[in-house]
Amino acid sequence: MSSQAKILYVTGRGGSLDKGLAVYLASITENFEGIAVDVPFLRQDPIDQVEAIHTRLASDPDRIVIANSYGAYLTVQALVDLKAAPKKLLLLAPVLGMAAAKDRMYMSRPPFTKRLKSAFSESRVAKPDWMRILVGDQDPLYNAEQFAEVGRYFGERVLGVIPGEGHALDKQTIQYVIREIISIGH
């Protein structure tokens, strides 16, 4: 399947544009761009990371934006005060704020959680025309309260909790949803 759909993909922390979902996305469209949230990207100040994504989002709101894990968190941060939201946005296993994986003694404390909470309460987060947020119910970073809060802002219809899935969502499920996004409005 090759499409004319324009796609911007933001990887998760440590992600690459040379493997995984990025390779699949590049194979289905001739108009693929990506932002790798890799070591060089992460060396920037967090606000510069958000601004880099904000700039890319603003440059073409007609493209489909797909973001994964920590990249999804940065993408939501980049929606703050964005003049024109992307038409379509898919967030995969997003980090939505502080989370702890008790089984691995791991805690995620991303930057600017207060900024984001304030932006939600002030309705300063741009809302895409079409949006899905997918998370596995077994994802150790899944926080039902944070997920519900985001759902209240964007609308409950955007939320999808996948039973039995962890942080790495099933490849076929992701590909199915991406095909759905591409077919909407074409």
Instruction: List pLDDT tens digits, range 39-91.
Output: 999 999 999 999 999 999 999 999 999 999 999 999 999 999 999 999 999 99
- Mean pLDDT on 95-100: 75
Q: Residue 41 corresponds to which tokens in the numbers above? A: 């990207």
Fold for 3-183, please state it: Rossmann fold (3.40.50)
Residue 186 has pLDDT above 60, yes or no: no
- Mean pLDDT on 19-26: 96
Instruction: List pLDDT tens digits, range 67-81.
Output: 999 999 999 999 999
The band of 104, judged by pLDDT with boundaries at 50, 70 and 90, is: low
How do the domains of the chain map onto residue ranges?
3-183
Q: What are phi and psi of 98, to 5 degrees?
A: -65, 135
**158 contacts 90 by C-beta, under 8 angstroms:** no
What SS3 state is found at 37?
Answer: coil
